[in-house]
Amino acid sequence: MLRELHIRDFSIIDSAAVEFGKGFTVLTGETGAGKSIIINALSLALGERAASEYVRSGTKEAVVEALFDLPSKKSSSLTVRALKELGIEAEDGLILKRIVSSQGKNRAFINSSMANVQTLIEISRGMIDIHGQYEHQSLLSPENQLDLLDLFGGLTKEREAVATAYEALAALKNRIQKLEEQDKERAQRLDILGYQINEIESASLTPGEEEELAAEEKILGSAGHLAEVANQAYDILYASESACLPNLSTIIDNLREITKIDTAAVDSLKSAEEALPLLEEAGYFLRDYKDSVEFNPQRLEHIQERLESVKALKRKYGSSIQEVLEFRDKAAMEHEALHHSEETLGTLKEELEEQKQSFTHMAKDLSKKRQAVARKVESEVVKQLAQLSMPDTQFSIVIEQHPGNDTLNGLQAGSSGIDSIEFMISPNIGEELKPLAKIVSGGELSRIMLALKGIMAKGDKIPVLVFDEIDAGIGGKTAETVGKKLRALSKNHQVICITHLPQIASYADRHLKIEKQVVGKRTVVRIECLDKKERTSEVARMLSGELSEVSLKHAKELLQKSSS
């Protein structure tokens, strides 16, 4: 719901704050009083083109703010989706703001956050329709026309089922396309994978092998040095004239002689006796080790070549033997999948044909139901327009299909099915049917929209409807019919209407009067919400152009009749 509209320095409006209520609101006033300026200002806030001419003479910038309430259960999916994408919370209301400078520059804001004009349009087109000489009309879009037709016909479940089937169809097509694209490179990829797998497997790598080889390489590379120091250590310990072990035996014998006389040497004797077998073990090791150390250049060369092979594989396939082996396993899996891709492709193509058959049946059934609903809407619209002083109007809902390969019978399709739709109309005898968007007359377009909105009110999710010039070329009984239809429409929508006709104004729940005043040698626009007495006077003025006992009496009767 549009709650408030704040305008500053816009055209001849210096400052105005308009509060709107639920139900049906009319804006009235003398010709040229500035009613359409209000709609211009609102349209600017919704994303319409900005121009420096909008800025009030002598001021730097014009500012327009529109405050909306967005009940979550009734909000249009267009608005909800757009706000969600922007990360904007609107539980406490949504403010759309435009600032236009006298130099023609303009800025846009959504809840105090800067935005571009296209974003304003995306958000507002799901909240409000302005019908008249402006272009902020959702029903002019064929996409929205199709949505409304389905909602009116109660085809939501069928539409959702078709959308689900189409998504499944599209997913299968996508998988098949990817496999077919891969098939072009399949042989080359199989060769590459086969080479990689064979190269790794032929190396017969084992985890930990590299560390073992590196340790052996270190020993073989130092064989001469190891033999030399082992010999030297063995000689010192056992083989030389001054060897450690024979001397240690003499030392032990001497300590034993001492302990026979002085027990103070017992601990030293014990230490020497414990050291003797340990040194003998070291001697045995050195004897065997010096004899076992062998310089083997062939083995060293083999190890070095093996380590280089491992490094080469690591450069290609991983930083360790384990990673190289994991690469081989993944390559083997891909090789297996590619090897069987022809079989998989065949299976998917069979599934595609089955899915296409199912989708075709569902889409054809939905299209058939749409045709029936369209004929019903056409008949009802013509009747409604006849009541709105457009008796010779022809109205047609054209449903077409286009060639393609999405269905078994060769039709193009989308998530909404196989149909494209266009509301076509001819307001005058002898004129050919044209798309609704091509209607030039604001008054005709407003009445057409009123008829359509009245018929499709329950399915239409746009909460705010603004009608301008709806009373062009009508009067009397037709005007009363328009008033009744607007009030009926306001049960499901917030309806705002600019009118010159008292018959329409009398059906409103809220009456706003627009008038020009001269303040300090400047023309300004004032907006006043009328009470019961003031409303009677305004309707009287609209009836006769002046206030008199007769016009006031007639106004009271008209208001009483409209409220009953």
pLDDT (tens digit, 9 = 90+) per residue, 327-352?
999 999 988 877 777 777 888 899 99
pLDDT at 30: 86
Q: Which residues pair with 25 in a beta bridge?
A: 496, 510
pLDDT at 212: 86
pLDDT (tens digit, 9 = 90+) per residue, 396-409?
999 999 999 999 99
Q: What are the C-alpha distances in Å from 81 to residues 60, 70, 116, 137?
A: 35, 13, 17, 19
> What's the CATH number for 1-127+495-529?
3.40.50.300
Cα–Cα distance for residue pair 3/95, rounded to 1 Å: 10
0.85 exceeded by the pTM? no
pLDDT at 72: 54
More confident residue, 413 or 90: 413
Taking phi over 0 as left and psi of -120 to 50 as alpha, with beta for the rest, 132 belongs to left
pLDDT (tens digit, 9 = 90+) per residue, 447-499?
887 888 788 766 667 889 988 877 777 777 888 888 998 998 899 899 999 99
Do the Cβ atoms of 395 and 425 come closer than 8 Å? yes
Q: Is the dihedral of CA 199, 205, 208, 213 positive or negative?
A: negative
Do the Cβ atoms of 499 and 505 come closer than 8 Å? yes
pLDDT (tens digit, 9 = 90+) per residue, 27-63?
998 877 778 889 899 999 998 888 888 899 889 999 9
- For residue 165, is pLDDT > 90? yes
Grade residue 69 by pLDDT with cuts at 50, 70 and 90: confident
Domain extents for the chain? 1-127+495-529, 187-339
Give the strands of the sheet with 464-467, arranged side by side.
Answer: 128-131, 464-467, 494-498, 24-28, 510-519, 522-529
Q: Single out the residue of 562, 530, 482 nearest to residue 19, CA to CA.
A: 530
